[in-house]
Amino acid sequence: MTGPIFKIAILFITISNLQLAAQSYHDHAELGKRMKQLASKHPDLVELQSIGESAAGRELWVAKINSGDHPKPAILLVGNVDGRTVVGSKICLAFIEHLVKDDAKTTPASLLKQVSCYVIPSINPDAAESFFQTPLVESAFNACPVDEDNDGRVDEDGVDDLNGDGMITRMCVRDPAGDWIFDSSDSASLRPAKKTKGEKGEYLLYSEGLDNDKDGNINEDGTGGVNINRNFAFRYAPFSTGAGPYPMSAAESKALAAFCFQHPEIALVFSFSPNHNIFKPWPHAEKAPSSSKKRERRRQKPIEKVPEPDHTALAAMGEILGKMLPMTGIPASKSGNGALSEWAYFHYGRWSLSTPAWFVPSVTDSSNEKIERKQKPPLTEYQRISAWLKQNGQPQAVLNWQEIEHPDFPGRQVMIGGIKPFAGINPPADSLPSLFKRYIPVLSRLPDFISKLHIYNDGVKALYAGVYRVSVRVVNNGFLPTHTVLGSRMKWTRKIKLALALSSGQSVIEGRPFYLIDRIDAYGSSRELSWIIKSAKGKRVTLTASNPMVFSTSLVLELK
């Protein structure tokens, strides 16, 4: 089945799907289908690859969007870094769709003339699938079996849907030694008892489930897994929940790292993750790390804070992009043990920007002022989310506490309730288009930051008959330094290569065919270099300053 009819049919299906697409989330199969459709519809622009497979064998898709053959710096976009956050995958997909829009005059086409975009919508597809399954249960783990309670058995005591409502929520058990109480102002709101203020707790809090293996613990060894965003090697916390047996143990994190190092042209990694730095930069190192070789050999301490000038550069990008994302209720950036976004900066040596994609905004009361300011004490996270859900057309996502009979707690009051899984994590599907409107300009802005090399002619001087000195400066006219400080000190980051090309009859008397430059700072910083060349008068030499992850340049000089 080939020919125009088939193509029209595909086009029709694609268009109608795209119209629907914005209104719903996609499971792994659907996401893959859409990526394949985009690749087959735009073979000149989109190349679809799988960088590996998840623990459960799901493809880790990357769409490489690239126009033309000339080498370009690349931006890597990664979604679903926290496995529960499927909204990031949707923004990734929307960005691909935006990039392949046919109109050559729009921003995408000019953006793609400058850079390649590599988009990995989901780096933890096993966890993302929990958003689409019944019972609905929030999970950040891949499907790799882990013996969480170290009893020699794996995944033997996970959650259970006790009230048959198709979702796993919270479960409270009345107990004289409980830590939780219901708030007097909101009978549905369970919060920690303030013991210092004389309040006594009344309930123990669990996730919904049974003691399946009869070991006295509830849900202590559920399905999976490794949390990919805890498995990266930067500040990896061994033995912590979801960390996996060792850093980069998971197929997903290893595949991403391998992909990154196989693509030296990646200049910047933008990820949708809880370890964000757009709204507030990551902590700042007190002083630039010493680069003294002698000291390095003796003992170099691990580096966990961002040195200058990288901190300033990251903060400056964050300020520009943060203003384009007017959001309220921004959660604190989580401490990143084994987080992808920080790994991309500290261990991959690239510019790394991250945002959580979406979070529950600040809630407002009727007078349109922030409730948090007026109310005392401040709202708990549960109260804030439930208030927002109620105000924004999702009151059904705040579940009433419902009493059940629980076989592990005979004769005791056990209730199930809380907030519907994912309700505070991903926005309602119908609000996605407005989110895309915010993020597409942000993502489209990224190429503007990449450093731009320029070769400045400092003069060609005739020293003697047929002997010339060529002096140039390599200048970075971009927003960012060519390399991060740490990246420039990593063996696996390419240096800037300034190469001299001669034509026949010319030769170099002093100087090398090429020089390697470690890094050049932003805005006008430069490196001076010169050659003495033997050449007939009026002939030309070509100089090229290149590095895969910056905008390269060349200059032709006439020897006269």
Task: Give the residues lining the site for other proteins (CB under 8 A).
Answer: 147, 150-152, 214-216, 233, 236, 238-239, 245-249, 254, 257-258, 261, 264, 289, 296-303, 346-347, 349, 486, 489-495, 497, 512-514, 516, 548
Instruction: Work out how close the CB of 103 gets to other proteins at its nearest, in angstroms, rounded to a whole number.
Output: 36
Instruction: Work out how close the CB of 406 gets to other proteins at its nearest, in angstroms, rounded to a whole number.
Output: 17
* Cα 54 to the center of its chain, rounded Å: 17
Q: Which of 480, 515, 477 is nearest to 496 (CA)?
A: 515
d(CA 213, CA 217): 8
Q: List Cβ neighbours of 25 (8 Å cut-off, separation of 6 or more).
A: 86, 87, 89, 90, 131, 132, 426, 429
Grouping H, G, I as helix, E, B as strand and the rest as coil, residue 91 is helix
- Output 99 or 498, the one with its CB closest to other proteins: 498
Instruction: Work out how close the CB of 445 gets to other proteins at its nearest, in angstroms, rounded to a whole number.
Output: 29
- Output 306 or 389, the one with its CB closest to other proteins: 306
Instruction: Work out how close the CB of 277 gets to other proteins at its nearest, in angstroms, rounded to a whole number.
Output: 19
Instruction: Work out how close the CB of 224 gets to other proteins at its nearest, in angstroms, rounded to a whole number.
Output: 17
Q: Three-state secondary structure along 130-173?
A: HHHCCCECCCCCCCCCCCCCCCCCCCCECCCCCCCCCECCEEEE
- Output 233 or 404, the one with its CB closest to other proteins: 233
Q: Which of 290, 299, 308 is nearest to 489 (CA)?
A: 290
- Output 18 or 499, the one with its CB closest to other proteins: 499
Instruction: Work out how close the CB of 344 gets to other proteins at its nearest, in angstroms, rounded to a whole number.
Output: 12
d(CA 69, CA 66): 8
- Output 36 or 235, the one with its CB closest to other proteins: 235
How many other C-beta atoms are found inside a 10 Å radius of the C-beta of residue 498? 21
- Output 150 or 185, the one with its CB closest to other proteins: 150
d(CA 27, CA 131): 8
Instruction: Work out how close the CB of 438 gets to other proteins at its nearest, in angstroms, rounded to a whole number.
Output: 33
Question: Looking at this protein, which amino acid is placed at residue 84?
Answer: R
- Output 170 or 347, the one with its CB closest to other proteins: 347
Residue 349, CA distances (Å) to 308, 378, 473, 483 in order: 14, 40, 25, 8
Instruction: Work out how close the CB of 174 gets to other proteins at its nearest, in angstroms, rounded to a whole number.
Output: 20
Peptide bond into 548 cis (omega under 30): no
Do residues 324 and 445 make contact, with C-beta atoms less than 8 angstroms apart? yes
- Output 344 or 470, the one with its CB closest to other proteins: 344
Paired tokens of 393: 């057309």
Phi (first) and psi of residue 124, to 5 degrees? -135, 65
Q: Which of 489, 488, 123 is nearest to 339 (CA)?
A: 123
Phi (first) and psi of residue 28, to 5 degrees? -60, -45
How many other C-beta atoms are found inside a 10 Å radius of the C-beta of residue 261? 12
Q: List Cβ neighbours of 343 (8 Å cut-off, separation of 6 or more).
A: 232, 233, 234, 257
- Output 420 or 489, the one with its CB closest to other proteins: 489
Residue 262, CA distances (Å) to 66, 195, 210, 265, 493 in order: 17, 54, 46, 9, 11
Residue 240, CA distances (Å) to 222, 223, 230, 346 in order: 15, 17, 9, 21
- Output 141 or 234, the one with its CB closest to other proteins: 234
Do residues 99 and 112 make contact, with C-beta atoms less than 8 angstroms apart? yes
Instruction: Work out how close the CB of 215 gets to other proteins at its nearest, in angstroms, rounded to a whole number.
Output: 5
Q: Is the dihedral of CA 209, 214, 218, 221 positive or negative?
A: negative
- Output 254 or 527, the one with its CB closest to other proteins: 254
- Output 477 or 546, the one with its CB closest to other proteins: 546
Q: Which of 344, 358, 88, 82 is nearest to 229 (CA)?
A: 82
- Output 167 or 344, the one with its CB closest to other proteins: 344
Instruction: Work out how close the CB of 489 gets to other proteins at its nearest, in angstroms, rounded to a whole number.
Output: 4
Instruction: Work out how close the CB of 494 gets to other proteins at its nearest, in angstroms, rounded to a whole number.
Output: 5
Instruction: Work out how close the CB of 333 gets to other proteins at its nearest, in angstroms, rounded to a whole number.
Output: 22
d(CA 461, CA 559): 8
Instruction: Work out how close the CB of 117 gets to other proteins at its nearest, in angstroms, rounded to a whole number.
Output: 22
